């Protein structure tokens, strides 16, 4: 079990419940509630770190717990996980249980992604060494709590943290543009494997219809330094996101992005841009009658 190190001797919750400093394993220190827990896991950030809670608080929530109370410890809060597994960390266990109780799919993964993002790590497994040196601030804990509330509304974690990895690229993500699925990475591999002319031509040209976040086009450009891409999408949000991702990856000079609907806009607009070597597309493939059975994350 982990210790929670807080640089205060003791404190009292506004509801009157007291917390005392108790010796923890090794050199760690834990704060254990004497009577309070009913409200702590929901409303007081510190409640996410108390393990295990002791039930019995009857204080009305309205007078008990601002999100970041004035009596929050002024010193740093340090969490030292003994292992890289999130099961060993009370903070991760708390949010995993909250998500499980809220019916959130992939509760463990959601908690790990949000915590890692709040603490500035790329992945949860990369946190162990960092947490051995740096404290977890009250602001970071509040950030985790705010992101968790969005996840409880079934907002995808990719939209919450604002980015997602696709192959070896990190792309910005924002609604309403679709989040690329793992299967989309396979599409990029198929194009590279089955279209040898893309590597043989001195300047191959690729047309992507329905570029979305730009994941496929930009991944192809990353793997084909001599290639040029024409990416089109019928939504302005997708066009803007692809452009932002291209600039973020410094690929904007090799891609042309058009706001164009191939089903309703004149074909001459594309024909005037000349021939292409490869046409690639990964359009939405969900039947309308299946929408009602999908998870909220997909149909947002």
Alpha-carbon gap, residue 113 to 164, rounded angstroms: 11
pLDDT of 127: 74
As a whole number of Å, the CA-based R_g of the chain is 25
- Intervals of the chain under pLDDT 70: 1-89, 128-135, 285-287, 289-300
pLDDT of residue 19: 45
CA dihedral 296, 297, 298, 300 (to 10 degrees): 70
User: Using CA atoms, how far apart are residues 33 and 55, in angstroms rounded to an integer?
Assistant: 9
Q: List every span in the chain annotated with CATH 3.40.50.150.
A: 175-299
Query: Which tens digits make up the pLDDT trace of 258-281?
Result: 999 999 999 998 999 999 999 999
User: pLDDT tens digit string along 217-263?
Assistant: 999 999 999 999 999 999 999 999 999 999 999 999 999 999 999 99
Helical pair 107-118 and 90-101, crossing angle rounded to 10 deg: 130
In the prediction, which pLDDT does 79 show?
Answer: 39
Query: What CATH class does 175-299 carry?
Result: alpha beta
Burial (CB < 10 A; 0-12, 13-18, 19+), residue 219, is buried
Identify each DSSP E strand in 88-175 by its residue range. Answer: 163-166, 169-172
Q: Which residues pair with 33 in a beta bridge?
A: 19
pLDDT of residue 124: 81
Is the backbone of residue 195 left (phi > 0), alpha (psi -120 to 50) or beta? beta
Residue 90's pLDDT is what?
A: 78
């Amino acid at each position: 079990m982990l210790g929670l190190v807080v640089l205060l001797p003791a404190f009292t919750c506004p509801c009157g419940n007291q917390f005392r400093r108790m010796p923890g394993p090794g050199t760690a220190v834990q704060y254990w509630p004497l009577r309070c827990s009913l409200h702590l896991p929901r409303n007081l950030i510190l409640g996410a770190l108390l393990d295990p809670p002791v039930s019995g608080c009857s204080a009305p929530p309205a007078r008990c717990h601002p999100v970041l109370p004035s009596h929050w410890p002024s010193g740093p809060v340090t969490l030292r996980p003994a292992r890289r597994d999130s099961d060993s960390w009370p903070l991760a266990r708390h949010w995993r249980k909250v998500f499980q109780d809220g019916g959130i799919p992939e509760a463990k993964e959601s908690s790990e992604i949000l915590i890692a993002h709040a603490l500035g790590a790329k992945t949860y497994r990369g946190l162990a060494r960092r947490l051995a040196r740096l404290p977890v601030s009250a602001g970071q804990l509040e950030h985790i709590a705010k992101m968790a509330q969005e996840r409880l509304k079934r907002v995808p974690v990719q939209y919450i943290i604002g980015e997602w990895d696709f192959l070896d690229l990190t792309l910005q993500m924002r609604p309403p543009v679709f989040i690329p699925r793992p299967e989309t990475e396979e599409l990029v591999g198929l194009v590279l494997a089955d279209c040898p002319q893309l590597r043989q031509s001195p300047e191959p040209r690729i047309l992507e219809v329905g570029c979305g976040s730009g994941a496929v086009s930009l991944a192809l450009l990353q793997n084909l330094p001599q290639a040029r891409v024409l990416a089109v999408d019928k939504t302005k949000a997708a066009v803007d996101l692809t452009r932002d991702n291209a600039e973020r990856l410094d690929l904007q000079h090799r891609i042309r992005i058009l706001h164009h609907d191939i089903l309703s806009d004149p074909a001459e607009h594309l024909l005037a841009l000349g021939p292409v070597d490869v046409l690639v597309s990964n359009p939405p493939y969900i039947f309308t009658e299946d929408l009602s059975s999908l998870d909220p994350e997909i149909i947002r």
